[in-house]
Amino acid sequence: MKLLITHARIASEDSPALTEADLLVEDGRITRIGTGLEAPEGARTIDARGRIAMPGMFDAHVHFREPGFENKECIASGCAAAINGGVTGVVMMPNTRPAIDSPQIVAQVLESARRASPVRVLTAGCVTKGREGRELAAIDGMRALGVRMLTDDGDTTADAALLLHAMQYAGEFGMFFASHCEEPSLAGPRALNDGPTSYRLGIRGTPACAEEIIIDRDIRLARAAGAHLHIQHVSTRMGVETLRWWKQRGDVRVTAEAAPHHLLFTEDNIGDFDTAYKMNPPLRTRSDNEALIEGLIDGTIDLIATDHAPHTAFEKSLDFASAPNGVTGLETALVSLHDAFVSKQVFGWDLLVKRYSAEPRRLMCLAPARVAEGEPADFLLFDPSRDTTFDRGFMRSRSANTPFLGRTLRGSVDLVVLGNEVLLERDDA
């Protein structure tokens, strides 16, 4: 494939400035960047005037539900949703059925991913067998197949002694641990934050300290083991402050992520039992949102990850306490973050590229994608002036449990190029 992109404005993690240039893609690689480039014979030309070229996003926390829950999502539909949102790489969580806790299941999942899509799909492995918290999973066998992240995501590994042993064992292999932080005895029904909304709706809430206690516990365990710990979906102000304190100490390697929904929404959005806003950790307060944004900007929070969690319409139609936790996010993340933050100059494209493209790849020991000469083609074109309406005709996920369903936001992912393929091109762009 030969493709010439003209008049693009290039975004990178290294500079807040956008540089206008032409890009020439040949045989899956960016061969030239400059101004006034001429299209070689057989090349297709796309005028990108007004649009931004940036690296493909990478989501280090998604639930593709395969094996076991393919009615909600499968790897193929999850990858289609990723492409639709400008995401060219993902890390699957292991809370499937059966759980991804052995080399046999890892091999099955990776083979399904290879056949399903050109998107790069990695998988995490469980810390414990079946995510039951009683016995270590087949960690070395999973490592041999390329698994680097270990997590019992969906639940905390409650047994601190077992988790410490796992950290001491697997840390020597270069693996790291991703913690879903939630003290079970305090978690309640996991429906919503313990606060004014839970009192008004008459549903027992989950206090912020349920998350914060485990954040601190697991960092202390990682420090004792000399392991790398990654904190998933941080949602509270004190959680951010705890991370900042530990990072300033400098004697433990800890990274963290925030999900777009915890940046954008609060418990007030739940209204009268709207299950589209039911997730775990629950939505918190505006003060918590502000702390998360501050943490993203100053580096306390290393990356953005959606925690893409598909559920069927029937499941989400249940009463608020019974409906499952989770929202989809792959298709809405980039546009919603642009609409809420970049377009309002809360932060720039450089920060968004760093947090949602470069740092997630670094977490998985991958080289960041770059829009630069000699680099593999892995980029998207984004139009900040066009709108996107998130209706069922737009969505590619099998599930549409998102607060954005039916809403129109400013910004559009118009083109996605990966290697020698154009994976997405909007017909009306």
What amino acid positions are annotated as catalytic residues?
A: 307
Q: What are phi and psi of 245, to 5 degrees?
A: -60, -45
Distances (CA, A) of 96 to 112, 308, 320: 14, 14, 23
> Can you tell me the distance from the alpha carbon of 280 to that of 259, in angstroms, rounded to the nearest whole number?
11
> Can you tell me the distance from the alpha carbon of 322 to that of 160, in angstroms, rounded to the nearest whole number?
29
Per DSSP, what are the bridge partners of residue 6? 47
> Which tokens in the block code for residue 337?
């973050």
The closest alpha carbon to 359, from 306, 410, 302, belongs to 302
Residue 9 identity: R
- Determine contact, residues 171/228, Cβ cutoff 8 Å: yes
Contact partners, residue 280, CB within 8 Å, separation at least 6: 182, 190, 206, 325, 326
The string over 84-93, giving b where at least 16 C-beta atoms fall within 10 Å of a residue's C-beta and e elsewhere, is: bbbbbbbbbb
- Determine contact, residues 298/345, Cβ cutoff 8 Å: no
- Tokens 């292999």 correspond to 173
Distances (CA, A) of 123 to 28, 95, 192: 25, 11, 29
**Which conformational region is residue 274 in: left (phi greater than 0), alpha (psi within -120 to 50 degrees), or beta?**
beta
Determine the length of the chain.
429
What is the pairing mode between strands 303-304 and 253-258? parallel
